[in-house]
Amino acid sequence: MVDHRTKFPAAASWMVMAALASTLASGCKQQCQSNEKFFEEKIWAPIISKNCILCHTAQGDARISKFIMKPATEPGYLEFNMEALRDVSTYEISGTPELRLKPTLKVDHKGGQRYPAGSANDLAMQEMIDRFKHPPTCVDEQDNSFANIQQMDFAQTYRKATLNLVGRLPTDEETTAIAQGGKPALDAALDSLMTEDPFFDRLKEMFNDFLLTDRYADGAGRNNDAGELLASYRDPNVRNNAPKLYPNGYFWQGQNGTPAAKYANNSIAREPLELVAHVARENRPFTEIVTANYIMVNGFSAQSYGITDVSFADPNDPKEFKEGHVAGYPHSGVLTSHMFLARYPTTATNRNRKRSRIVQKTFLATDVLKLAERPIDVTKVQDTNPTMFNPNCAVCHAVVDPVAGAFQDFFDDGSHYNADRKIFDDMRPPGFKDEDIPTEERVHAVQWLGQKIASDARFPIAITGMVFTGLTGQALLDPPTDTTGANYAEKLKAQSIQYTVIKEIARQFVKDNYNVKTVFKGVVNSPYFRAVNAPKLGSKDAVILGDVGAAHLLTPEGMNRKIKAITGHEWTPDYNQTPYLLSDFHLLYGGIDSFDVTERLHDPNGVMANIQTRMANEVACAAVADFRAAPAGRKLFPFVERTFEPEDDNGFAISGSAQKIRENIQFLHWRVLGERLSLNDPEIDRTFQLFTDTWKEGKKGIAATNALPQNAPASIYRYDEYLPYACQVTQDDAGKDLPDDERIQRDERYTARAWMAVLSYLMSDFNFVYE
């Protein structure tokens, strides 16, 4: 037996008192550190994450102890765990804190000795205990992590936001107002921006990256589209000859390929995404996406569901969505959407555990697969019911199974069993965290669950994280787990800095009654969106801040929007055809189909680089059509005509013409790359030189070609006065043939091709393909 009266060696006690006295005497001036920072750096990183957290969780071996913490996979784990440590810091044995006695095995500890008495960890724990009793009066020095990060000005920030959120460039009036008004003007402009229809399309695209319900849109489900799926549902309450739940679910059968068939299928497939857009459009609390007691339907999907409690101004308008109700169905937002449930099916043995995992990862920012990262020794899993009784399994199943139980009334295909089913008695009862679903709520289990999710502190973190990833292309960082790994301290700080920003945006999100537009404004205003350069970072700061900044490879959808916003046209095979980046090259350029390919590529490969080159050349080729418009209506060439040349035939600069060419190049640098450059900037000089060199070579080549004798060898390269056929402008925007005098076919001065070279050069630039 251990004598509880045993004292620590005098030397160790002296060291503790000396360290404490030094801290107090310094008045926190030399090493000012809050309790939160001290806990993170001196307690969590070297002690708890390596020792205590292995057992002291709600599912760990020490789950019946007084000291229970959250794993690093849960948002807010540091704050929660510091409070848990504070609560047990007052427990003493014979005047000595248990937090000093148990880890050093001075008293019985089932976890054994974690570190020796008098060690650095032991002394740090004592200092933490003393800090709890006597909190420091100072605060952390102001965080200057972003001091060496150059950020866009507000006008540049708004340009990036307009391209990202609504696929257009800012107007001159908007740019001027923001340049003059600063952040208040930027916020006001963002508020207005988020009322435009394209914003809600972007919102649906962003959330589909997480929900992946577009698997059933546009036939992407490989002969398992939304209409067929809905039409297959049969009433599970009837054992024999079960009638169809939605007999009209596939009412357009036989009309495949028609616009009506596409509208009907997609209105069902995109129902959960339409709900997300609807809640945002109405400025309702975003918690409604998991609590809504309705589904979104248009005239097509209402017919499929047999919904009759809603009317439409135009039943044939695929964009007119309204709130509807399926009779007898327990609606709870996305959680009970047929498409969401079908996208994440269950089986007789899985028992909705996959649905539980997806729900918690998506709406609670908790990846249950990371709750237990230690290897499981399968030879020790010999329990009759290991998911309930074996600690190796229970560490995850205690979190997964209660939420899974809430979905017990939903079958594999997403259909709902209206009668109260018997709860699986070999699983934990349905519930959420430590709370079981009350008996009277069993028939509304998922609705009860939706309310619990909506009120959970992790929900705003999850939504903020999704918007953050959608706007910056960066996933939320996980805290590093290998304390001995390279750059552990720097990686921990990187996660801490990012989480601090996310937490503050989430706090404002809650304060603004869960208006998701607050999250968008918060992310746009953050350094993670606005950062553009970091010329003075040291090696450690490069690890900490290496991912700051939203310069990420544009998605195919984002690239398509940017091309159209800047040039006025999409990159298409031909008139009125689906753009390349949304069809032929969509997956090759890193897109997803929400079915087989569910994760976007963020790093370019050789194929993607070739697509970028082809895009730049072909879009530049098509841009010649801009010369058809009057100068005031041109998107690319408002300062020049095709006749403008930089030099005369004797090689002397044509001052007026050369000046206009430089002004147009300056304009293109802003329009294409977002660069505000002076006319004498070296970048303008380089681009002007490219224009001039291309023009000179081409004009000289045309003259040489025209001078060739008729019997000149065919091997001699010839410069054509005509544009390449694909670059000629012979039709208007509607695909109608133009009169001969309005066509653009000849380029005898070679100026059109010189401008094509400039555009191709700019659209191949890093600042164009990355955003």
Phi and psi at 25, nearest 5°, equal -65, -35
CA distance 365 to 465: 8
At 29 the pLDDT is: 42
Q: Give helix then strand counts, H and E, for the chain.
A: 28, 8
At 645 the pLDDT is: 96
Task: Give the amino acid at 504.
Answer: E
CA distance 373 to 198: 42
C-beta separation of 319 from 312 below 8 A: no
Residues of the chain with pLDDT under 50: 1-30, 221-223
CA distance 714 to 39: 80
Q: How far is CA 227 from the centre of its chain?
A: 29
CA distance 106 to 116: 9
Q: Give DSSP secondary structure letters for 100-166.
A: HHTTTTSS--TT--SS-TTSHHHHHHHHHHHHHHS--SS-PPPP-TTTT-EE--HHHHHHHHHHHHH
Q: Give DSSP secondary structure letters for 265-277.
A: HHHHHTHHHHHHH
C-beta separation of 104 from 115 below 8 A: yes
At 49 the pLDDT is: 84
Q: Is 328 left (phi over 0), alpha (psi -120 to 50) or beta?
A: left
Instruction: Give SS3 for 81.
Output: helix
| Token couple for 741 | 């005098």
Q: Give DSSP secondary structure letters for 291-313.
A: T-SSEEE-HHHHHHHT--S---S
Residue found by looking up tokens 């028992």 in the block: 351
Q: Residue 57 forms beta bridges with which residues?
A: 69
The upper half-sphere exposure of residue 29, i.e. CA atoms within 13 Å in the direction of its Cβ, equals 3
Q: What is the pLDDT of residues 647-696, one digit of tens each?
A: 998 889 998 999 999 999 999 999 999 999 999 999 999 999 999 999 99
> Rounded to two decimals, what is the model's pTM?
0.88
CA distance 760 to 620: 5
At 3 the pLDDT is: 37
User: Angle at Cα 749 formed by Cα 745 and Cα 750, nearest 5°?
Assistant: 75
Q: Which of 489, 582, 531, 475 is nearest to 218 (CA)?
A: 582
Q: What is the 3-state secondary structure (H, E, C) of 280-292?
A: HHCCCCHHHHCCC
At 379 the pLDDT is: 60
CA distance 412 to 343: 10
Phi and psi at 416, nearest 5°, equal -110, 135
